[in-house]
Amino acid sequence: MISAIIFDLDGVIVDTAKYHYLAWKRLAAGLGFEFTERDNERLKGVSRMRSLDILLEIGGMAGKFTSQQQEEMASRKNEWYLEYIMKMTPDEILPGVIPFIDEIRGAGIKTGLGSASKNTGLILSRLDIAGLFDAVVDGNMVIQAKPDPEVFLLGARMLEVEPSVCVVFEDAPAGVQAARNASMMCVGVGEKDTLAAADTVIPGFDGFTLCKLKRALLCKEI
């Protein structure tokens, strides 16, 4: 039985990962080292400060800055990121997402959003889709980052459903593990090799339906 579906935001609803990457790359360049798209994969689904720790590790600069300096770096990165997302439009919503959400809401399934991003509200406003979710949990509301299940467990409480009847859509291994840790079903959005811990994996929402979801969870494959 599926009573609620909780979506991650970045890489599931919209591809803001490219904007995170550009901002982190800009920060790394200012520190004198290169930050590649492959490096950026390590930051998916991870909190801002932990992402900074990883970036500094990649640049061989771990432990070289004070906490205040790191806070300033993270703030600078976020300012650049905000510059990018302030230009977003609804056209950037990934293919098939809106039809799928409309279908599940029409079927009486509750919808939630569970994201590590502290800019979730702004992004939803720019995309004009805040009204599609019955509950929204973002990085301003939780303490623990994924793979800790806090974001999804809070989402379930706000939706007033048990974790066992929730399905999470995630594009990052840390997010998949967070769903697992919350005792929720999980659909990975992306590559099977990367998201092997999910119950099933889809390449995207284009052509995806509630019937296909139920069949995938029953058979463990699309």
Just list the catalytic residues.
8, 10
Q: What is the DSSP letter of 168?
A: E
34 by Cβ neighbours in 10 Å (0-12 / 13-18 / 19+) ranks as: exposed
Cβ neighbors of 141 (< 8 A, separation 6 or more) are 151, 154
Q: Rounded to the nearest 5 degrees, what angle is found at the Cα of 25, between the Cα atoms of 75 and 16? A: 75
- Amino acid identity of 26? R
Q: What is the DSSP letter of 30?
A: H
Kindly give the interhelix angle for 48-58 and 67-85, rounded to the nearest 10 degrees: 110
Kindly give the interhelix angle for 48-58 and 17-31, rounded to the nearest 10 degrees: 50
CA separation for the pair 199, 151 (Å, rounded)? 19
CB–CB of 9/120 below 8 Å?
Answer: yes
Nearest to 199 by CA among 217, 183, 214: 217
Kindly give the interhelix angle for 97-106 and 210-219, rounded to the nearest 10 degrees: 90
